[in-house]
Chains A and B, each alone.
Chain A
Amino acid sequence: MSGNMPAAEAINNLIQELNKLPGIGPKSAQRIAFYLLRSPEEESRLLAEAIASLKQKITLCSVCCNLTETDPCPICNNATRDRAAICIVEQPQDILALEHTGVYRGLYHVLHGAISPTEGIGTNEIRIKELMERLQKNSITEVILATNTNLEGEQTAMYLSRLIAPLGIKVTRLARGLPFGTELEYADDMTLTRALEGRQTF
């Protein structure tokens, strides 16, 4: 699209790059580019630096595979956390959501995906090997499977529990049931079945 656009080369480049970002179409890209052009130079410099440092500073934690600036990551390094429990999640974003609750005090392990046979994602494409090494090296008493409750997440959880249970470690799965603020009539069979099975004394 740069070929027939009358704007200057530098603007076209920026628009093209912005256009690659998720959720940003050509018009939004144009708007952002012209906004940056009008705003103080300081602002675009900060943005450019923030983007540049992203790839330079962020690495994977050698213990839990979470994204981090320091290795091991602040969670793995935190002496006050319970080192006997590992919570297994699919994405680094899932840790943010769980940490936001402030309820869990153990450690994490990020798989970076879930088993999805039709997409060609098997056990070697996600970080299961790192997890198993970690379980063998450290004394872990509980593994919490916190993968998504869709088919891929369930499949990954079932696979991991087969793998981990023989090691004599307690394997638990996050409760699956009704999310807060929903209406019962729209719930599907799977969710309702799980919700009934996991009901508790009130």
Chain B
Amino acid sequence: MPEPRDYQTEAIVIKKTKLGEADRILTFYTPHFGKLQAVAKGVCRPKSKMAGHLELLTYSHVSLARGRNLDTVTGSQTIDGFLAIKNDLWLTSCALYVTELINQFGAERMENFPLFQLLLNTLQQLVPAPNKEIVLRYFEMHLFAEAGFRPQLRECVSCRKTLTPGINFFSLNSGGLLCPDCAQNNPYRYPLSVNAQKVLRLLEDCSFSTANRLKLDAELAEEIKTVLGNYLKYLLERDIKSAHWLDSLKEQIAQAAPPALPRSPDSI
């Protein structure tokens, strides 16, 4: 039996590109079709009935019609517009970072329900979370797992021996920790403190609510951010554009805040 011409799905808008005068190509992440690209006609016009439901960072119920090349969006209804995220510069930037990574790691037309769940959870957690950076780190760790790049953190990836507490080395090309003996000849290694290793192991297994209770000092947070960022870059073989923006915005917020106040952007 041929596939029906029309179908419906829930979807989160993760990217949009202009197409011609008033059309857009949208990239959705969906629960059962993975990443999906579709044309939305006329959404740049002020009277478009769909435009508001198809903005970036919107969780919508969309109807699509199969096309020869790209499918066309025929209708949409917002489920959650994440208004609290969109009303805040820092949260919007965090959320765009998340969607850029989903767009990079998500496979087109390949169902990955856990990855969709992770995306939705992350967007929902961003607003109430006391520390947005931890949400991003949690997201990155679980993104690795769902995309098939879960780093090996409990035994040495080379000699398979259980790691001893102490400084071990994160190796980008072997995807996990190396014991000091095996790390000597590896050019892509980063020394990782005991605490950083503990946090990574915790993030890998725990729930959002446990992660939210974590308190990291600035140095440890930076160490974890750097190693995960480098692993991301190594896997994607390219820079993550929104990460640069996130860093520069964080710096500007820190500069603008009077020194007496906590300098974390999350306090703003």
A: which residues have CB within 8 A of B?
22-23, 115, 117-120, 122-123, 150-151, 154-155, 158-159, 162, 166, 179, 181-183, 186-191, 193
Contacts and interface: CB of A to CB of B under 8 A. Distances in A.
Interface string B47-84: 10111110111100000000000000000001001010
Interface stretch (B3-11, B215-223, B239-247): B239-247
Nearest to A155: B92
Interface string B14-41: 0100001100000000000000000000
B248 interface: yes
24 contacts: A22-B20, A22-B21, A115-B245, A117-B93, A117-B97, A117-B245, A118-B15, A118-B96, A118-B242, A120-B244, A122-B245, A151-B96, A154-B86, A155-B92, A158-B89, A159-B89, A162-B256, A182-B47, A182-B49, A188-B81, A189-B81, A189-B83, A190-B52, A190-B55
Contact of A187 (B52, B89, B256): B52
Q: For chain B, give the interface size range.
A: 35 or more
Given A117-B241, A118-B99, A155 B246 contact: no
B100 interface: yes
A191 B52 contact: yes
Nearest to A151: B56
Given A117-B93, A118-B100, A118-B241, A179 B47 contact: yes
B21 to A, nearest CB: 7
A129 to B, nearest CB: 14
Contacts of A188: 51-53, 55, 58, 78, 81
Given A118-B99, A162-B89, A23 B53 contact: no
Contacts of A120: 241, 244
A117 B246 contact: yes
A162 B93 CA distance: 15
Contact of A150 (B55, B78, B241): B55
B187 interface: no
A191 B81 CA distance: 11
Contacts of A150: 55-56
B242 A151 contact: no
B47 A151 contact: no
A189 B82 CA distance: 10
A190 B55 CA distance: 10
Contacts of A119: 241
A198 B141 CA distance: 42
Contacts of B2: none
Contact of A117 (B21, B88, B96): B96
A159 B99 CA distance: 20
Contacts of B49: 182-183, 186
A165 to B, nearest CB: 10
B19 to A, nearest CB: 10
A155 B57 CA distance: 13
Interface in B188-216: none
Nearest to A187: B52
Contact of B89 (A22, A118, A155, A189): A155
Contacts of B256: 162, 166
B46 interface: yes
A122 B89 contact: no
